[in-house]
Structure 1
Amino acid sequence: MDTSHIITALDIVAAQDADVAAGLSLVGYPEPRLRPHGFNTLLSIIVSQQISKEAAGAIQARLEALNPGGQAESFLALGPEAIRAAGLSRPKVAYAVGLADAIASGTLNLQAVATLPDDQAVAAIMGLKGFGRWSAEIYCMFSLQRQDLFPGEDIALQEAMRRLKGLPSRPDAKQARLMAENWSPHRSAMAVFLWHYYRGAPA
């Protein structure tokens, strides 16, 4: 989703949803989130789970320095201890090695995943240990540029929806997904907007 697509999608939603229109007036349009398709991006999703953005960035930089080519095969050759020394927890080392092995062995064919419908692409990524629905949807949104996904488990999205809609409490994942159905087929653009709104709108 480039800037033009995001603006067009949000304008369409705003024409039908007064709260979104008001939110756009308050915080403006978000910047696009584009990430490469492939092993390194999936690895970065593992790295970033449950730690700060700054810590994740530092660990990812160390891993990329160890594996400058960014290939799954060369990552496997590093060995678990070198990967652990870069700052990953032992469970994340196992997830990262499992990811690299799946790609290197052909168990996970990322080129084939890119051609699948949304639900099948998400399911293929979720087949990897350490990748839940949120992680799979994030990859599909930002690396495969899927335009109608909404990671309802995301706490920031839930809180942004509460503020935007003036709700008494934050919706849970199921409620957030149900509410987001009204924004289809532009749910990915709305997710990007809501992250932007979360950072810029009054609490």
Structure 2
Amino acid sequence: MKHVFSLELPAGYRVQDVLAFHSRDAESVAEQVGPAAIRKGMLLGGVPVVLDAALPSGACTAEIDLPRARNVPPDLAGRIEAAARNILGLRIDPAPFAAFARGDALLGPLVARQPGLRIVQSATVFEALTWAIIGQQINLPFAIALRRTFILQGGRQHKTGLWCYPEAADVARLQVEDLTSRKFSRAKAETLIRFAQLVADGALDIEERADNPIPAICKNLLAVKGIGPWTVNYALLRGYGYADCSLHGDVAIRAALQRLLGEDSKPDMARTEQILQQWQPHRTMAAAHLWASLADRPNESA
């Protein structure tokens, strides 16, 4: 079964940025990236889906492993299209930030060198949160390797052969040893499974709605053992497309500020938070430009 749709890509859309983000894992099992296309496997509502997005046309085709249904349910179609907007970086319009930062002494030159830079997101909020947990306090190459293992342990394989990133119910069934035997620390494995069980049981609602706004979601996430402010802010950026995330705990952000300020050492977290506050309510895009400034040092960029 297929669902076909098209997304309008804005003028100046930076195709290569999006392709580069999704091709960071050369051995990826859930994404395939070509010269002008992204193929992404994911589970949505328990249904294995492979999304093909052609760039720069914005034409999308989702192959859905739902053999008994005659038509794609509207709710599933909506989730597929939302995932496509996420992975193509269409949630946050960069224009307001560019206008805001144009006269800023620190950020202005960075923004001028990277016009149209966008935040590329994970396909779903659950993927963003689990990726943030996986990436806590380790370097990017190791985090990418763990993510691949996580997909193989918790995900499911689509009939086309591509693996689908797992949902909460899939991860909740794992045992801690399924991950610790494959280079996960016990603390990281326990946090991932604990988080997934809370989501799968309905005890933790991670879907943003009028009756479950971002502040409430943040408070509930921070109450989960093993999830701290950096994880929450990173998930706000990659999962919710929230425009004002403070990544003051991020090592790469601090390294970028050190370079930008011309100082001998990275600013500490408190000073980094203070610096970032001057760019409210656009701290998410500020983070994107700070990361981009480290493009020649890819192991530091999230």
> What's the TM-score bracket when you normalise by the shorter of the two chains?
0.7 to 0.9
Gaps of 5+ in 2: 1-85, 157-165, 298-302
Q: Aligned pair in 2 of structure 1 residues 83, 200: CA closer, same or farther (>3 Å)?
A: closer
**AA aligned opposite 2:270:** K
Query: Does 2:251 match 1:155?
Result: yes
Equivalents in 2 of 1:45, 1:155: separation in Å? 14
Provide the secondary structure at the position in 1 that maps to 2:151: helix
Contact 1:140–1:146 (Cα < 8 Å) also in 2 = yes
Gaps of 5+ in 1: none
Higher strand fraction (1 or 2): 2
Provide the secondary structure at the position in 1 that maps to 2:247: coil
Q: Which has the higher contact order (CA 8 A, sep 6+)?
A: 1
Match of 2:130 among 40, 43, 57: 43
Which residue pairs with 2:240 in the alignment?
144
Shift of 1:4: 8.8
Cα deviations across residues 104-128 of structure 1 (Å, max 9, x unaligned)?
Answer: 2211111257864444332222222
Which residue pairs with 2:284 in the alignment?
188
**AA aligned opposite 1:51:** I
**AA aligned opposite 2:140:** K
**AA aligned opposite 2:191:** Y
Equivalents in 1 of 2:90, 2:175: separation in Å? 40
Query: Does 2:177 match 1:85?
Result: no
Which residue pairs with 2:172 in the alignment?
76
Shift of 1:135: 0.5
Q: Aligned pair in 2 of structure 1 residues 136, 113: CA closer, same or farther (>3 Å)?
A: farther
Q: Aligned pair in 2 of structure 1 residues 9, 161: CA closer, same or farther (>3 Å)?
A: farther
Shift of 1:57: 1.9
Shift of 1:137: 0.4
Which residue pairs with 1:122 in the alignment?
218
Shift of 1:77: 2.2
Which residue pairs with 2:269 in the alignment?
173
Equivalents in 2 of 1:132, 1:100: separation in Å? 16
Q: TM-score, normalised by structure 1?
A: 0.83
Shift of 1:35: 1.1
Q: Aligned pair in 2 of structure 1 residues 35, 4: CA closer, same or farther (>3 Å)?
A: closer
Which residue pairs with 2:205 in the alignment?
109
Which residue pairs with 1:53 in the alignment?
140
Q: Aligned pair in 2 of structure 1 residues 92, 79: CA closer, same or farther (>3 Å)?
A: same
How many residues are treated as equivalent by the alignment? 201
Q: Aligned pair in 2 of structure 1 residues 113, 90: CA closer, same or farther (>3 Å)?
A: farther
Q: Aligned pair in 2 of structure 1 residues 134, 115: CA closer, same or farther (>3 Å)?
A: farther
Q: TM-score, normalised by structure 2?
A: 0.58
Which residue pairs with 1:20 in the alignment?
107
Contact 2:110–2:289 (Cα < 8 Å) also in 1 = no
Equivalents in 1 of 2:214, 2:231: separation in Å? 14
**AA aligned opposite 1:187:** R
